[in-house]
Amino acid sequence: MKFTAKQIAGILNGTIEGDPEVEVQELSKIEEGKVGSLTFLANKKYNPFIYDTEASVVIINNDFVLEKKVDSTLIRVADAYQSFSILLEFYNTALTDDKGIMEPVSIDEGVVVDESCYVGEFSVIKKNVILGKDVKIYSHVFIGEGVVIGEGTLILNGARIMSRSEIGKNCVIHPGCVIGSDGFGFAPQKDGTYKKVPQTGIVRIGNNVDVGANSTIDRATLGATIIHDGVKLDNQIQIAHNVEIGENTIIAAQVGIAGSTKIGKSCAVGGQSGFAGHLIIGDGVQVQGKTGVTKNIKDNAVLQGTPAFDFKSYSKSYIHFKNLPKIVKRLDQFEKEQHGK
């Protein structure tokens, strides 16, 4: 699809310098810009590229001062980075503006699919499913019995939404996700074997939640595994049964959260971190990558290490850890000198 600089400036409430009728049909990095592409400049490190880029349109900040003439049409805005983010969202929405029911699909009787919805090829929707307006279900998706999906949510290719799961409005469930599968519950027996504990709960996901590709969210043993509004989950994350994640928390890839742990609001969790079960993590906590959290954490703590401890203490300790061979060598030399006396 094509847009003119004039149309883009209208969306962003920006000011045009150059040809308002120049057209773009793709997005690019400024250093890789070519004719017909749209890009932006928000980081000073990339300033030199504006004079060499072949991009047809460049979004820049209002206060950016040109040192020489540029060939691109410029759109000046208050915040170039934020404006480009708005355009990315607009562009993505346009790409996913599909409607209708493709063939072949399997939709049980009684499921009402609004005319604003989309169901892609080879998808399966079981009975008693409720779909809000503008829900998009792409190819090879499975939607189990009694699932509720809110208005404007995207379920992308190959996702599995198991029975009775609840997903709010304007969520994005990326390819390969499994939501609502059995939690890892097994009771040890006297003979050394394990007996499966039935997982009878559900998963409840709030509004404006993103779940990255191939992530899994297990249903609760009893009650609900809860992902609150605004949570953003990266790819390949494991969330166990009865976990609760607070509003606007963001979690990077390959994090594992064991059963019944509760993570507060507005937390940030680095990649490959792990949480033991039955913990309470406060609001505003920051967890550095590869951290192992094994105890309850108070609000606004910053953690690193395994087991996790205060980030500043970790940094100071790490300095000594790197110097440990030198320290040991000096200690050995000191002991030799003492024995020599």
Give residue limits of the domains in the chain: 3-95, 100-314
Catalytic site residue from 140, 228, 241, 339: 241
What was the pLDDT predicted at 340?
Answer: 67
The CATH T-level fold of domain 3-95 is: 3.40.1390
Rounded CA-CA distance 218/207 in Å is 18
More confident residue, 246 or 310: 246
What was the pLDDT predicted at 94?
Answer: 66
* Mean pLDDT, rounded, for 270-297: 97
- Is the confidence at residue 44, as pLDDT, over 70? yes
- Is the confidence at residue 309, as pLDDT, over 90? no
Rounded CA-CA distance 18/72 in Å is 7
Closest C-alpha to 335, from 319, 317, 327, 323: 327
Model-level pTM?
Answer: 0.78
- Is the confidence at residue 314, as pLDDT, over 90? no
Q: Where would I find the beta strands (DSSP E) of 186-323? A: 186-188, 194-196, 202-205, 210-211, 216-218, 224-227, 232-233, 238-239, 244-245, 250-251, 256-257, 262-263, 268-269, 274-275, 280-281, 286-287, 292-293, 302-304, 309-310
pLDDT tens track for 323-332: 888 888 888 8
Rounded CA-CA distance 219/225 in Å is 6
pLDDT band at 195 (very low <50, low <70, confident <90, very high): very high
Rounded CA-CA distance 141/93 in Å is 20
CATH number corresponding to 100-314: 2.160.10.10
Rounded CA-CA distance 98/215 in Å is 25
What was the pLDDT predicted at 203?
Answer: 98
- For 15-24, 67-76, 106-115, which range has the lowest pLDDT when averaged over its residues? 106-115
- Is the confidence at residue 95, as pLDDT, over 70? no
- For 20-29, 130-139, 250-259, 313-322, which range has the lowest pLDDT when averaged over its residues? 313-322
Share of the chain above pLDDT 90, in %: 81
Same fold, 3-95 and 100-314: no
pLDDT band at 168 (very low <50, low <70, confident <90, very high): very high
- Is the confidence at residue 339, as pLDDT, over 80? no
Rounded CA-CA distance 106/160 in Å is 14
What was the pLDDT predicted at 324?
Answer: 83
Residue 54 CB partners (closer than 8 Å, separation 6+): 33, 34, 35, 37, 71, 72
- Is the confidence at residue 19, as pLDDT, over 70? yes
139, two tokens:
């190819």
Longest dimension (CA), the chain: 93
Q: Which helix (H) or strand (E) holds 6?
A: helix 5-12
Closest C-alpha to 151, from 171, 180, 173: 171
Q: Name the phi and psi angles at 337, rounded to 5.
A: -65, -40
Closest C-alpha to 7, from 95, 90, 98: 90
- Is the confidence at residue 118, as pLDDT, over 70? yes
- Is the confidence at residue 24, as pLDDT, over 90? yes
Rounded CA-CA distance 36/92 in Å is 18
Rounded CA-CA distance 279/47 in Å is 47
Rounded CA-CA distance 53/93 in Å is 27
Share of the chain above pLDDT 70, in %: 98
- Is the confidence at residue 59, as pLDDT, over 80? yes
* Mean pLDDT, rounded, for 177-201: 95
The question of whether 140 is a catalytic residue gets the answer no
